[in-house]
Structure 1
Amino acid sequence: MTTDQGLDAIVVGSGPNGLAAAVTLARAGLRVRVYERNAQIGGGAATAELTLPGFHHDVGSAVHPLALASEFFQKFGLKDRIELTVPEISYGHPLPGGRAGVAWHDIERTAAGLGRDGPAWLQLLNPLVDNISEVAELTGDSLLRVPRHPLTLARFGLRTLEQGGPAWNWRFTGDTAPALLTGTFAHSIGRLPSPSTAGAGLVLAAHAHAGGWPIPTGGSGAIVQALADDLLAHGGEIITDADIHKLTDLPPARIVLLDVTPRALVELAAGALPDRYTTTLSRFRYGNAVAKVDFALNEPVPWSADDLRRAPTLHVGGTRADQARAENAVARGQHSDSPYVLASQPSIIDPSRAPEGKHVLWAYTHVPAGSTRDQTEQITRQIERFAPGFRDTILTTASQTAAQMQNHNPNHIGGDIAAGAISLAQLVRRPVLSPDPWRTPLDGVYLCSSSTAPGPGVHGMCGYRAALSALAHEYNILTPPDLAPPAQ
């Protein structure tokens, strides 16, 4: 690559974290360039026509519980830049016999639908919902930082220990509330119950009743485009189809931020990292995986429970015991015959996602890392179980195995969309044990992917924290730059 004079910062990778880092640096007055290996920017937050013309599917993430709560996106003013619809129902959960659990945005309405378990739902989640900004702050940084809200930490910790251990059923008497809650736990692709899956799930459940689970009009790519537009408006550049193999391939720059995994960092450094740091990165574990199927439909999914026809997000997996059985099979390296399925039907609230009268359905299930099994039939069968006639609505499908997920995005090692296993140890040590885990031993080089704190999700916080660290250490800029959109 050619040498560029006056280039202050380089970002490798244009996922939400890479672009959040680039925007932050550009807003601080630096000249920034982003390199992206694919022809399309966005990584796991892109939108594309994957099945038929006019059907717009999210390539990776589809629903964004953290988009409104993220410190970065709040400062960036995301809700003022794109159209985000906060649905009346955050998520639904079909159950046998045509029943369903429904997590309404309104927590009181949710509790009312849970019968005798309604008070238990309120007791569990209300303290987190009422203090959601403190929960977001607690979970949006390195866990080695001194918490500013110890009472919220204690509330959150006690609930995580309860729901992450053998006592997870003690407060519930029916099967709807625990199944509804477990659907959020299973997002983390881990053993059930466990503290790591419970902690992540409780955060998602709390956001469902606080800011809600918003859907971007036009797809997740709208978030990426807003970030890219701001970067370009502040002098930044984006170069696509640029696969970087070594750090020495890059032109000179004072700061290099890498939206890549620890494994890729070692490869890019080509022996330049200290042995001890390399050894630590080699111990970073990657988790199990997802296999994804996108459906083009000629009509909405015919869910047996009417409320589910209004729910943009669904957890399809049966009872709490059913979901635990499926997730624990994957944790043992096995494929489940009756898998947990995370599904999104955004076209029920966003008609722009499909031709008139048609719909898109986004769905994935969990599989062992590196799986080459196509899960189209397993996902279809599980949905059909709760939506008889679903098969008849399918026009066509586009499937990706776990192995193919990595081919599209190298950060998804073996199909691990979290870029690293979600465990208590790796939430504290992500990827190293440090209050500043984004900074590497190489001068000016920082890691900003979901492999760093605070972990996975479309929140931009990994990139934002890495950029603030770089500004402080390389330019002595200690005040975060203004990220707000221009006044209208």
Structure 2
Amino acid sequence: MAAVLLARAGREVLLLEAAERFGGGLRSGEVTLPGQVHDLGATVMAMALASPAFRELGPLKGVEFAHAPVAAAHPLDGRPAVLVHRDVRRTAAGLGRDRGAWLGTVGAAVRAGLPLVDLLLKPLGPWPARPRVFAQAARFAAAAALPATTFARAAFRTAEARALLAGMSAHSMLDLRAPVSAGYGLVLSTLAHLVGWPVVRGGSQVLADALVAELRSLGGEAVAGHRVRRLAGLDAPIVVLDVTPRQLLAMADLPAGYRRRLERYRYGPGVFKMDWALDGPVPWRDPAVASAGTVHLGGTLEEIALSEAETTAGRVSPRPYVLLVQPYAADPTRGGHTLYAYCHVPHGCGADLTDAIETQIERYAPGFRDRVLARHAMGPAALEADNPNLVGGDLGGGLTSLTQFLRRPVWSPAPWRTPLPGVFLCSSSTPPGPSVHGMGGWQAARLALRHPVR
């Protein structure tokens, strides 16, 4: 994102990628069977559709977002699955007694629309002068600051609505008893109604390749397979780094105070990721789940909260919360019935969670294992080896706690700027944090364009 925006502003840009293929967390590949395309990192792109950075960028040639009939589903034992539709009222209607509560919480954020999302994705500004939006954001923040367990029990009466909020909030990779965990659930729920939870047709790699193509069309140069180990080897007035604090510490001679602050930066839990090639759709007990792009597996609020608490305490949950994506529900172009899932594990965990993940799927889809043609698994060590930004398997570039919501990676009115002249950060270790939104690059480019060019 930063490279394209700088090139559009007329700057001469050289993009260097350490891996042999561009994309980082936006890569796709054939990891199970030939011809079957799997997303190796990010797959669901709600933030890309909502992001001010991507909206400013405009349409990219060859990129099409594909939506499943249902944005997300949350199966439950012995009762119908909870379904999240684009229509907030249709979703609320499926929550019975909590219909009004969903409309009064998530629905209120939906009614506030993208101006509220813009404010949330630009926590440090710049902000337009919109008093009404600030008032809406203040009301949203009061709920978002709560632990997910607290908010779910206060706002909802049914097991269905509480479970749904828990599944959404668990994307944060936080203990659901921790402050701001509710906020992640509320934001993701809101985006499901505002913009949907699509995948990129053909795989996330298509989006990465389109960004590189856009850069080259603007006269920029892009070189893969070139790892920058020390900043001293670069001769450029502006350097924008898509790295986490650990890599920056190794790359640069930093002022002692800034170095100490980076050394205090905390990484979060890791993930154990799996991909499957299936001989047909997942055989869900509730057929309605087959239409969902994303499926949250973990049961009730209490079950999911226990699983996440065990993970953050450094223990492997025997019944983990599993985030599963059925790309074929939205995109039939990936060569077959490919399936994507991961569960949270302690930072750097070396345990094999294959059986635990597949057991959770079998819980709601008996006979699932009989559909498996091939499987591929990656734990934290393999993920970090493939992408050094995934420290200890942490997909988020750092713990997403309240204290690190703005201190990413340090307390600063402009944390994208480092103390080194002309050196900026744009990774998920900067505000607003993880996801495919491009806001780190947008903010870094905005600051870099103010920097004098020698």
Q: Which residue of 2 aligns with 1:361?
A: 339
Q: Which residue of structure 2 aligns with residue 187 of structure 1? A: 171
| Partner Cα distance (1:305, 1:397) in 2 | 24
2:143 is matched with: 159
8 Å CA contact 2:307–2:321 kept in 1: the answer is yes
Alignment of structure 1 residues 286-325 onto 2, 5 Å: 286-325=267-306
Following the alignment from structure 1 to structure 2, what is the Cα–Cα distance between the partners of residues 248 and 162? 44
Unaligned runs of 5+ in 2: none
SS of the aligned residue for 1:284 comes to coil
Aligned match of 1:432 in 410, 416, 434? 410
3-state SS of the aligned residue for 2:451? helix
Aligned to 2:82: 101
Aligned amino acid, residue 207 of structure 1: L
Q: Aligned pair 1:128/2:112, yes or no?
A: no
Report the CA distance between 1:219 and its aligned residue: 1.0
Q: Does 1:88 align with 2:69?
A: yes
Which one-letter code corresponds to 1:268 in the other structure?
Answer: M
Deviations 1:432-476 (A, max 9, x none): 111211111111111111001111000111011101101012359
Q: Deviations over 1:404-432 (max 9, x none)?
A: 11111111100001011001111111111
- Of 348, 351, 354, which residue of structure 2 is paired with 1:370? 348
| CA distance in 2: counterparts of 1:79 and 1:213, whole angstroms | 18
1:346-386 CA-partner distances (Å, limit 9, x unpaired): 112211112xxx30000000000001122211111100000
- Which of 380, 395, 411 aligns to 1:402? It is 380
Whether contact under 8 Å (1:144, 1:434) holds in the other structure is: no
1:258 aligns with 2:241: yes
Please report how far the alpha carbon of residue 287 of structure 1 lies from its aligned counterpart in structure 2 after TM superposition.
Answer: 0.5
* Residue from 240, 250, 263 that aligns with 1:282: 263
Tell me the amino acid that sits aligned with residue 232 of structure 2: T
Once the 2 structures are TM-superposed, how far is the Cα of residue 163 of structure 1 from its aligned partner?
A: 5.2
Matches within 5 A, 1:31-430: 31-78=12-59, 81-143=62-124, 148=129, 149-162=133-146, 164=148, 166-250=150-234, 252-269=235-252, 272-354=253-335, 358-430=336-408
For 1:388 and 1:308, how far apart are their aligned partners in 2? 13
Count residues with an aligned counterpart.
Answer: 451
Q: Matched residue of 2:446: which SS?
A: helix
Q: Following TM superposition, where does structure 1 have runs of at least 4 consecutive aligned residues deviating by more than 4 angstroms? A: 144-148
CA–CA distance in 2 between the matches of 1:368 and 1:474?
A: 44
- Structure 1 stretch displaced more, 155-164 or 230-239: 155-164
Counterpart-to-counterpart distance in 2, 1:144 and 1:214:
27
Cα shift at 1:196:
2.4
> What is the distance in 2 between the residues matched to 1:425 and 1:413?
19
Q: Does 1:474 align with 2:449?
A: no
**Structure 1 residue 78: deviation in Å?**
3.4
2:434 equivalent to 1:442: no
Letter of the 2:162 partner, please give it.
P
With normalisation by structure 2, the TM-score equals 0.96
Instruction: Indicate which of 424, 436, 440 corresponds to 1:462.
Output: 440
Task: Give TM-score scaled by structure 1 length.
Answer: 0.90
Q: Where in structure 1 are there 5+ consecutive unaligned residues?
A: 1-19, 477-488
**Cα shift readout 1:79-112 (whole Å, capped 9, x = no counterpart):** 7751112333111011001521101111111111
Q: Report the identity percentage.
A: 44
Distance apart, 1:214 and its partner CA: 1.4
**In 1, Cα distance between equivalents of 2:88 and 2:433:** 27
State the shift of 1:132 in Å.
Answer: 2.5
Q: Distance in 2 between matches of 1:325 and 1:332?
A: 11
In structure 2, the CA distance between the partners of 1:175 and 1:147, relative to structure 1 (3 Å rule), is: farther
User: What letter matches 1:449 in structure 2?
Assistant: S
Per-residue Cα deviation, 1:189-247 (whole angstroms, up to 9, x for no partner): 11113232211221111001111111110011111111111001011111111121111
Residue 452 (1) aligns with residue 420 (2): no
Amino acid at match of 1:409: N
